[in-house]
Structure 1
Amino acid sequence: MATVLQLAPLLLALSVIARLAWTYLLPNGANFVDLHVYLGGAGALNTPGTLYDYVYADQTPDFPLPFTYPPFAAVIFYPLTLLPFGVVALGWTLGIMAGLYGLVWLSQRILGVDGGHRSAMAFTAVGIWTEPLRSTFDYGQINVLMVLLVLAAVYCTRDWLAGLAVGVAAGIKLTPAIAVLYLLGVKRWRAALWAILALAGTVALSIAVIGQQARHYFTDLLGDAGRVGPIGTSFNQSWRGALSRILGHDAGYTAPVLIAVAATAVLAWLAWRALASDAGEPDRLGLVLVVALLGLLVSPISWTHHWVWLIPLLVWLLQGPYRYLGEARALGAGWLVLILIGVPWLLSFAQPSIWETGRPWYLAWAGLIYPAATVVTLGWIAALRLRFPGGKRSCQYRAP
């Protein structure tokens, strides 16, 4: 371990160089389709009333990509439309790398890890090549920033600033709004209120700037998963996506999906109780991870790049309060292997079309991989309360 930490700066430099070479030297190293959507949608503000009519199809003729984000996102992205796309794409790529390092560093600070910057460098060097980050780089996605803002809220002791981080993140992309459950669960009432107010502020600002298109989003388009993409593709690792592949059609929120969602919610509640009842210091990272994993499974669509939360999960399993348990190390190793291989990505080569939900049973069940691994992880966390009844279960961190 000491040798790895000593080599961490070199490993990170090589990893960054290799990723940039992959992006810019290989024919299909990156297409930045989502970044094109961000900027294209923002650019549509120049023509009033066209924001949610915009679609990007230059590289995706079989799947024209509409602007599906809250109107505040278009306002935030608009200044980037004034720059050449190539400049924005390079800055975005470097920003993802810096953000990845930031979320690892924040995860360690929340845990109280005092291993210096080398440990964060090592995690970042490896994290660049995991499936959630590979797809983030390929598409030019924004999820690293979303996770970073939520972790900043967890780390920050000032309620107004923590709430502002969550509210702004939710204003750009709705999924971080589930972090309000974390704030309520740890009884940070003022931070939760600030988050709601900040989100409301983003809505008010977007209506003031954009007008009718902003109102159209919140009254007509909000919650329409059909605009986001094909539910049944292997890249969708939510319960709805996984069960749709098994059933052979979009399961919607019918009984099988609702049962899975309800069972996951109960399991997440038990996992929360297990961590919250520890006699030691509150496990803030573990608690927010329970909420994030729940959100990933109950969302109608959780693309593989939404699963950036698996990087803080690895930090928690391998460096957190339960790292001395063999099960924690085994889960950490299992998740690491899983996301380095990229099973949903491999399965995508076997699906005839992203729009076809039906497939052979063995491919359908294999596509259950992220939900199944998440259930195992939450179940293990929940079982900690039974394994260590009535006492302090975690251990204090000692620097390597």
Structure 2
Amino acid sequence: MKHSSWTISRLSLIVTLIAASAPLARADMIMDWNAKADAIATEKQILPAPHSRALSMMHVAMFEAVNAIDRRYAPYKLALSADRSTSREAAAAVAAHDVLLSLYPDLKPDLDAALTNSLAPIADGESKVAGISLGKESAMQIIALRANDGSAAPETYRPLTTPGAYVPTTVPLFSTVGATTPWVMTAGSQFRPGPPPALGSEVWTRDVNEIREVGSRSSPTRTPEQTTVGRFWFFVGARTYNPIVRQAAMAKGMDLVDCARLYALTSIAGNDALVAVFDAKYHYNFWRPITAIRNADLTSNAATPREASWLPLGDTPMHPEYPCAHCITSAAISTVLQTVVGDFGEFSLTSPTAPGVTRKWTRLQDYSDEVSNARIWAGFHYRFSTEIGKDMGRKIGALTVATQLRGVEAMAEPSR
């Protein structure tokens, strides 16, 4: 009898451990396809804006598919329904595959192989078949939803010049992104800030002189640590925050549905952050430090001296300065994470632009603030631009969590 009780107790413990570990294993389906999308972006050198669009489409499709089975949260826009016996893993994998295939048809063999690997552990039967069908339907509807979102608009940026005068011939990036359809905002201009400070103002004088000193390639005031951090954050785009989202999901032991929701929320917030910041950037067309400092004599501000050969620590990104794009995305992501999961212990990141360096934080606020400081130390952004960018990002993150993919009780509330 004693042996029987011990056996039952041991079996109970085993079942409990399996049950505790199963949700995290299932959530790997979301994380694996996120990693696959990031790997494609790395291999194909996809720029941040189109990669953000791809991720948001993929993760919303995955969420809509698995949420149609559990009905745990309000959907984004799709009215899908499925039996609760439908395979969530199959639905998620097929939704991800089909969205990525629509964007990267040249990668069909690779994507098909990844799908085969994802589906292989799932037992054959009606549940799997239903999951595959549901994933296809979700992907198809999301692809249709974003078919005319403005992302294919031709680039028509007009370089400012006078007849016959040479100007640099590299066309700036992302000039059409601000006009694309957001996922959450009403328009790209919803959170457009006021103009940058006047060139004779105290704020301008303070901030341009700060970056002239600390952001210079040969700065004697920037510390070795600041130089390392500045170089670390030459790394941009969703590949800088997806690993952090993964660590948050793992720290909280999220199951597949909650993991799908978290990635969908961060992806659409990240996408809308880029829409908002490029709307503002091209609206104001404000000069970068390298331009301002080399032309400081044009401002008639005696407190901002000209340096004819000034260079930033890194190569300045090819788009207008105001506001800071890296700052808005990191603030939007950290706001979503803070609201959904809170601070979750130590998290870390590595960067291809600072080999051998690992940055670690225990607070999401510290991560966001480091990104902003790094753009000053790199010589790319004025401090006022980083603060404005963070404020915009916090607003977009808060709006995303307040209005999207909410608990099922939200479906009974009046629309906002």
Larger-gyration structure (1/2): 2
TM-score normalised by structure 2 residue count: 0.23
